Amino acid sequence: MALLRVDPGLIIWLWITFGIILLILRLTVWGKITGGLDKRSQKIASDLESARLAGEKASAVLAEYDQKIREGKAEAALIIEAARNEASRLRESILLQSQAEAREVMERTAQEIVRAQEDAERALRGQVVSLSFAIADSILKRETGNADNRAFVEEFADKLIAAGSGGPSRN
């Protein structure tokens, strides 16, 4: 039980030794230890300030990035709207062009129909004249001038055609 026994002489020599070591440390290395601790404290404070500045800079960069993203989205929306407008304008242009081409085709077709009708009327008239001339020649059985017969038949054909286009007429 020697460990639990208190020896006053040992306690005094322990305090004297502790004081001497503290004095020696104070005179030799205490300045270096506190200087090192102060430097470390300053470095930690400097690192904290650098971290704060880096955080602020990162926040500024993030805000700038967000702004650029918003601008990019707005620009993309404008490009999309312009493309839609161009597509609409192009669609209208193609539609108008198609309508114009359709009208042109219809006009050409109408002109071809009119020409075909005129050709058919001429051909019919020629056949009517020839047929009428043959009928008239058979009926009359006489020898009059060929020019007289032709004039008579053409006049008769004109009356038939006029009666056919204007409806039946009784003369």
CB 161 within 8 A of CB 125: yes
Q: Please report the pLDDT score of residue 114 as a whole number.
A: 92
Chain segment 13-70, per-residue pLDDT in tens: 999 999 999 999 889 988 888 999 999 999 999 999 999 999 999 999 999 999 999 9
Which residues fall within 8 angstroms of residue 149, CB to CB, at 6 or more apart?
133, 136, 137
Q: What is the share, in percent, of the chain residues with pLDDT greater than 90?
A: 55
Q: Please report the pLDDT score of residue 167 as a whole number.
A: 47
Query: pTM of the prediction?
Result: 0.41
Maximum average pLDDT range among 100-104, 140-144, 158-162, 164-168: 100-104
Sign of CA dihedral 76, 79, 84, 85: positive
Q: Please report the pLDDT score of residue 1 as a whole number.
A: 57
- Quote the tokens at residue 106: 């219809």
Chain segment 80-126, per-residue pLDDT in tens: 999 999 999 999 999 999 999 999 999 999 999 999 988 888 888 88
CB 132 within 8 A of CB 153: yes
